[in-house]
Each structure stands twice: as C-alpha cells, then as structure tokens.
Amino acid sequence: MTFKDIIKDEIRGNIPTYKEYFLATAFSVLAVFMTLMVIFNPLLMLNSLAVNFVMATKAVLIIICIFLVMFIYYSQYTFLRHRSRDYAMFTILGMKRSRLTFLNFCESATVYFAGFMTGVLVSLLLEKLIFMGFAKILDIPEFGMYLPTKAIIVTFIIFAAIFAVMQIVSCIMLHRMDVKKYLLFGQKTQKMKKINVPVAIIGAILILGGYYLALTVTDNNLFQRIIPVVLMVVVGLYFFYSELCPWVFQLMEKHKACYFKGVNMLWISDMRYRIKDFTLILYLITVTMSVGLTGFTAVFNVATSELADALVPNESTLYPIAVLKVTPYCDTLCTVPKIEKLLSDEQISYTESTVNLYTILDKSKALIRNSDLKYLFDGVNMPVMGTADTMRLLDSEHKMAVHLPLRYVYAVKDDVINRYTEGYDECSLTLFEFKAPKNLGKQLIPINDSNDTQQTGEMLYSSGLFKYFYFIMRRTYLLLSFYFVIVFYVCAGCMLYFKFYNNATEEGAKYLSYLKMGLSPKEIRKSATIQIATLFLLPTLMSILNAAMAMSALLRDGAPATFMTNTLCIILFTLFIQVIYYFVIRSGYLRKILP
Amino acid sequence: MLLQINNLTKYYGKDNVTKALDGINMSVEKGDFIGIMGPSGSGKTTLLNIIATIDKPTSGSVLLSGQELSKIDEEKLSSFRRNELGIVFQDFNLIDSLTVKENLALPMVLEKKPVSDIENRLSEVVRLLGIETLLEKRPYEISGGETQRVAIGRAIFNAPSLLLADEPTGNLDTKNSNAVMNLFSEINDRHGVTTLVVTHNPEAASYCKKIIFIRDGRLYNKIERGENRKQFFNQIMDVLSFLSTAQDVE
Ligand SMILES: Nc1ncnc2c1ncn2[C@@H]1O[C@H](COP(=O)(O)OP(=O)(O)O)[C@@H](O)[C@H]1O
Ligand SMILES: [Mg+2]
C-alpha cells in the first residue's frame, strides 16, 4: 500500500464531507448567478420611468449577494475544519506541509469547481423554467431566452475571488496547525463560551431602537432614517444571535423548577451551546430572508396596487395608432401596410390620414402646417408646449389626440412652410382612426418588434402599445418578485439544511450515547424537535418581524388598504412554507440521528 | 436470584455466521460483584448490552427479578432501564453541555421528580463519590478518572437493582483504574448494589468477588475470590494463560 493508496482510501471515506461542501457551493452559485442573470438581462423591460425602483431592486440584490458570499466563505471554513483532523494525521505520517497544502488545493478545487458548474447549470434550467412558467401564467412575453454571458463571467469572478481568498486562509491555517491538539483529544469538544451580557443588552437596544425609528418614520425623514435603521437592525441581529439568545437560555437554566424537569434540562443546555454554533448561519438566514421578504412584499404591493395604475396613461387617444416616418429618403414602407393588414384582418373599419411634419434641430421639435392641423384635429386647441416627451394635442373635450415623442410641435402658416421646406427634414405622420379594441397593444407587439427603426426610419406610436408596455412592466415586477422569493427561500432553506445535515452526523453519535444512558427515543425526539423548531422559527420570526417593520415604515398612512392584506397574506404564506419545510427537515434529521 | 440467563444466543450477519453469544447460562445473586473477562471479540459487550436491554437476543431469555426483559415493551423500556439498571461505558458517559451536577441528577430529572428530592439524593451521592469540588464543572474540564466517578454516580443515582459497566477502566491509567474499581467495590460492599463489570484488565478484575470467563460466546470458566486480592489476581492470571493457550492450540 503506497501513500497514494492511503490518500485515495481516505478521500473515499470522506465523501459526506465533500458532499456538504459541494452542495453549499452549488447553492450559493445558484443564488448569486440567478440574481445576476436578472440584473444583466437585457430583455427585461424595466421601463426607464421606474428607474429608482430598478436601482433599489439591484441594491437589494447586491446585498443578498454579499451575504451569500459570506455563506460560501463559511462553508469553505467548515470544510477545512472537517478535514483538519485527517490533515493532522497525514502530517504525523510524514507528509510535508507543502504537499498537504497542495492536496487541500486539489481537493477543494475539484469539489468547488464541480459545485460551481452544477450551480450554473441548475440555475440556467431553473431560470428558464420559472420565467417560462410565470410568463405563461402572467400572460407576458418570455425574457429567459438569452445566453447570460455577462452573468456567467461576473459569477465566475466572484467565486474565483472567494476561492483564492479561502486558499490563502487555508494555507495559513494548515501551516499553523497544531497537530497534537487534533490527535490527543480526538474530536475537539466545544467549550462553553462566556456570554457577554452588555453586548446582549446593546443588541436588544439596537434592534428595538431600529424598530422604534421605523415605526415613527414620517414622509420628511424617511430617507434619512433608512441607512441608520438598517445598520442598527443588521448589527443588533448579530448580537441577538451571538449573545442575547444564549443569555436567555442561560437565564432559563437558573429557573430550577422548570430546568430540572424532564427533557427541559437537555434541550435548554444544548440550545445554549448550539445557538452559538448556529450564530452565523441563523444571522445569514435572517438577513437574507428579511431582505427577500421585504423586497418581495414591496414589489408585489407596488406591482399590484393602484399606485402603479396611476403611472399608466389610461386616456385613449383620438388616433389609436400613429406612425412617424423620419427618414424621407426611404421608400419602402413597412409598418403602415402591416397595420392596414392587421386592421382589415380584425375587420376593424378605420380611416387613415397622412400629413407632413418638418423636424428641426435635434428632431425634438417639429413644424406642422396649420391646414393639416385643422384637417387632423378638428377643433383642437393649440398644441401644449414643453410638457413632456410627448406631443399632447388635446381636442375640445380635452382628450389626447395623439402620442408622439416630440417635445414641441409648432403649427405654422401653410405659406411659411411652403417657402422654407428646404431647410427642414420632412417626415410623414400617418394616423389611423378607429375604435380601439382592448387588446390592441398586444396585437401591435409583433409589428413593433419586427420594425427596425434604424433601417426603416419608422416609429410606431400607440397609447394601446404604451399601456401594454406598462402592463408588461408591472407583470414583470410581479414575476421578478416571485422569482426572487423562490430563490431566497430556496437559499435560506438550503443554508439551514446544510447546517442541520452538517450537524446530524455529530449529533447522531451524541444521541446514541443518550440512548444508552437511559433516555427513551421519545424523549430524544422531543428534545431534538424542540431544538430544531427553535432554530427554525427564530430566523423565520425575526425576518417576518423585520419585514413587517420595513413595510410599516413604507406604508404609513395613505397607503392603499390592499397593501395591508397583501402583506398579511405574504407573511402567512411564508410561515406556511417554513412550517412545511420544518417538517421535511425534522423528519430527515430525526431519521439521521435515530436510525 | 436477581438475574437469570438461560441459553442465551446472539447471532450476527447473513445466515447468522457470527455467533457472538452461543448458549450462555448464568445467574447472579443479589449483592454479587461479578467480573466478566475474555479475549477481545469473545462477546462480553454483546452480553452486557443484552442485559442492559440495549440489544435484543437471537434466542434464550434474561430474567431480572423474575421479569423477562425481552417482554418489556418499547415504551416502558427506557423507564425500566433508568430505574432498574445503572450503566457505565468506556467513554461518552457524560453530556458535554451539562455540568457534573446536572449529569449526576439526569436520571431523576428525566423521571420528573421534585427538585427537593433531587437535591437530597445529590448530596448523598456526592458524599459517596467524594466529588464535591467538581459539581459546577463541565465534562471537558475534568480528568478521565473523575469522568468515570461521575458516570458511576449517575448510574447509581436512581438506586438501580443492577449496576453494569463495560470496560469502565479501559481508558484509565493504573492509579485511576484502581480508584474506580475501589469505588465499585465500596458501592457493592456498603450499599449492596449488585454489579457486573466487563474488563480485560486482570488487576481491575481482581476487585470483583467472582469472575466469569467467556470465549467465543460460551462460558469458559468461573472463579471466586477468597480473602486475598493478590492471590485472586494470580488465579486470574492462571486462567487467562490457559485461555490463551487453549486458543493457540485451536
Ligand atoms: N453489530 C454487530 N454486527 C455484526 N457483528 C457484531 C456486531 N457487534 C458485535 N459483533 C461481533 O460479535 C462478536 C462479539 O463482539 P463483542 O461482544 O463486542 O466482543 P467483546 O466486547 O468481547 O470484545 C465479535 O466477533 C464481533 O465482531
Ligand atoms: Mg467490548
């Protein structure tokens, strides 16, 4: 048997450790990559009107990415800790530290790369699935059909960087490794760490203070408070898990009559240990879920509310379709005949009129003959100038006549134009008048998509199309909110699963010795169940609380009543999902510790 | 008769190829202090585990105070184990997250006895073990010998009718090993606790009153101690050398 054989055997025996590490990597890649795919998706129609909104969404996503990166770092660290004992043994057998470092590099690189590839592939699949599925349900075009090269590259860079940092850390750890420590005492017993009561109290004050500020926020100070409140809660939460919770369990231990009763003693004392062990993971899960839940609730509320409706121009124009042809030199008319065909196919009777416009300067200004204006808009007021990006010609009933991206349109006497036409670019404006059906916008989509403005110099304007774009945008937000809630829940769930799975092996040995000490399987199950439930419910409840506080700050007075019901529904839904997930994990965990 | 074992067998593996126990008959009187010895793999742990109700026999019966162990249903088993039996293992005897005091009290806490009763019993056991200074410490803060003392304390906390120990001195040096065996014999002498100790250390075994030797899952020999421990030790050594030569011939 050569040294190589020993290592081969040893690697085979360590498959569970690799598996955990692999899964953790794959899921982090999944979350980060899926997030980036959306950020970089060029097809997503996130209209420029909602630019703040898009930025906020991206900021949230970037925060999530940072926390996921922390998670992968954590799983790397766990992996190394698991392997350290074997590495110590190799050192005793005479392996040089430099070779050990190389071995560690090969091992983790293989597993890491496999995890990375799996994560990317599964994400691509999942993304297509979610987008296709929800696009069908929400009745909007699909956005998934693009190869996210940029997202892949960025994901790769992020994960390569983490890997590089981790390799440096493990190099240092391996070189400093105290071999004796591992061999003499075998499994390192976790020592009871001292609880820092002042820090626990500070944590409580920070969280409560943050909540207070969130609850008492007003329109005036909303923006000044966002950063301090988020910081207070994010810092406070860490102290909450690292000091406050263990302190609470310690106080429970002091209550003799309760503590010295049945399995209470077991789970309370055990929780005091484990909450310290779980601190980072619970913290990460809480932050991920809080952000995800807040984002989801906010986006969902906005996407489904009347506030969003207010953004959509709901006036219908006098001329439902207008085609502006800016290049007078191009003879091949494409869009107009297509519209004519569409309208006659749909058996809609229409009238079509074409007039000339003369654009000047940067093409945001145009001239129109007075007679043409009279002809098109009988009884129209003077053009409204300098209002928005659109020409709003209002008729006598103050209805919008047409929708054009021209800032100023000046009506000019016919003979003036006739005299000076040479200096201007001539454009033609074709207007269709008919009674617009409800789904006009959707029917115009293929025509609009096939029209290449660069080539044809034609632009299609229709309030129906405009409305439809808004409709798609809102639905897209809805879709995105679902997309992210799925990704966040899956990730939070996986972190918990990872941690429990990681623990079950050690816990199994512990519970087996409990069994021999005379504990009944029922008592062991009870103790384990209380612990899993606590570890599960804590982050869920904390994130729901955080999301509720954030929502109450955003909603305040004057928010539509549907916000409240929506938010409640989402919270109940989250609880429901978590409870189901809890039962899944619990049964797996119990089966693992008590075969 | 406290414990009666009739024709006990335990087979392992496909087609029962491994005969861990192969027809054991023995009986234990109240107040006995019995050592079980034998080469590694001879079935000592298996025997003890079956008596401790941790394992089930393939055939045969074990009666404790006339009660057939395999007939006790699963639900009552742990309560039975807690009240009638005290068990000490080679390691993993204590719960790391509990203090020594809490570890000791565990059996009564699980029975949901009132706190005052627990405190009373605690002071009795602590006095017996002489571990007053350790009470607030945690298992990782005390030595191996002390760990076993605490484990014995927990095993006798509920005043069991039978105390079982599987290689309790396996991880200890001679000095600590002797101290632990002394504690067993003291508990047996003064409190009349019937004790079964598995060991392969002849010196530790010499503290027992009787010794049963098993080999290949069968009873091989049985010796009783006179007044003198030294003499008993020599006697044990004789049997052991026989045991190993018999094995060599085979
Ligand atoms: N769970 C098991 N499965 C299969 N064989 C076992 C099992 N436990 C013990 N054995 C076998 O039974 C025999 C007796 O084991 P054991 O009672 O542990 O011996 P001892 O404690 O005297 O060293 C050994 O041959 C061992 O390999
Ligand atoms: Mg054994």
ipTM of the shown complex: 0.82
The lowest-confidence range among A424-428, A554-558, B214-218 is: A554-558
Cα dihedral sign, A370-A371-A372-A373 = positive
Q: Report whether residue B41 contacts ligand 1, using a CB cutoff of 6 Å.
A: yes
The rounded distance, in Å, linking the Cα atoms of B51 and B56 is 9
Q: What is the atom index within ligand 1 of the atom nearest the CA of B46?
A: 17
CA of A92: how far to CAs of A222, A339, A502, in Å? 61, 82, 27
**Could you say which ligand is closest to the alpha carbon of residue B36?**
1
CA of B156: how far to CAs of A295, B79, B150, in Å? 58, 15, 10
Checking A310-313 for CB contacts under 8 A at 24+ apart, the result is A311/A49, A311/A50, A311/A470, A312/A467, A312/A470, A312/A471, A313/A400, A313/A463, A313/A466, A313/A467, A313/A470
DSSP string across A88-146: HHHHHTT--HHHHHHHHHHHHHHHHHHHHHHHHHHHHHHHHHHHHHHHHHHT------S
Residue pLDDT, tens place only, A105-123: 888 888 889 999 999 999 8
Q: Report whether residue B38 contacts ligand 1, using a CB cutoff of 6 Å.
A: yes
The count of CB pairs under 8 A between chains A and B is 69
- Please report which confidence band the pLDDT of residue B249 belongs to, taking 50, 70 and 90 as the band edges: very low
Compute, in angstroms, the gap from residue A589 CA to the centroid of ligand 2.
29
Share of chain A above pLDDT 90, in %: 8
10 Å Cβ neighbour count for A424? Answer: 16
The rounded distance, in Å, linking the Cα atoms of A35 and A64 is 9
pLDDT at A320 over 80: no
Report B:61-80 residues touching A (Cβ under 8 A): 74-75, 77-79
pTM of the predicted model, to two decimals? 0.74
The rounded distance, in Å, linking the Cα atoms of A117 and A111 is 10
Using DSSP, state whether B216 is helix, strand or coil: coil
- Please report which confidence band the pLDDT of residue B36 belongs to, taking 50, 70 and 90 as the band edges: very high
DSSP A359: E
Residue pLDDT, tens place only, A471-522: 777 777 777 777 777 777 777 777 777 777 777 777 777 887 888 777 888 8
Name which residue leads in pLDDT, A329 or A518: A518
Which of A503, A504, A495, A506 shows the shortest CA–CA distance to A540? A495
- Please report which confidence band the pLDDT of residue A75 belongs to, taking 50, 70 and 90 as the band edges: confident
Q: Is B115 on the interface with A (CB under 8 A)?
A: yes
pLDDT at B63 over 50: yes
- Please report which confidence band the pLDDT of residue A183 belongs to, taking 50, 70 and 90 as the band edges: low
The rounded distance, in Å, linking the Cα atoms of A312 and A307 is 9
The rounded distance, in Å, linking the Cα atoms of B150 and A276 is 27
Note whether A269 contacts B97, CB cutoff 8 Å. yes
Pull the structure tokens for residue A408: 């100023």
Q: How close does chain A come to B244, measured CA to CA in Å?
A: 32
- Please report which confidence band the pLDDT of residue B196 belongs to, taking 50, 70 and 90 as the band edges: very high
Note whether B78 contacts A513, CB cutoff 8 Å. no
Residues on chain B touching A189 (C-beta within 8 angstroms): 96, 139-140
Q: How close does chain A come to B229, measured CA to CA in Å?
A: 32
Report B:137-166 residues touching A (Cβ under 8 A): 138-140, 154
Q: State chain A's mean pLDDT as an integer.
A: 77
Q: What is the mean pLDDT of residues A12-40?
A: 78
The pLDDT value recorded for residue A247 is: 93
Alpha-carbon A411 to chain mean position: 49
pLDDT at A314 over 60: no
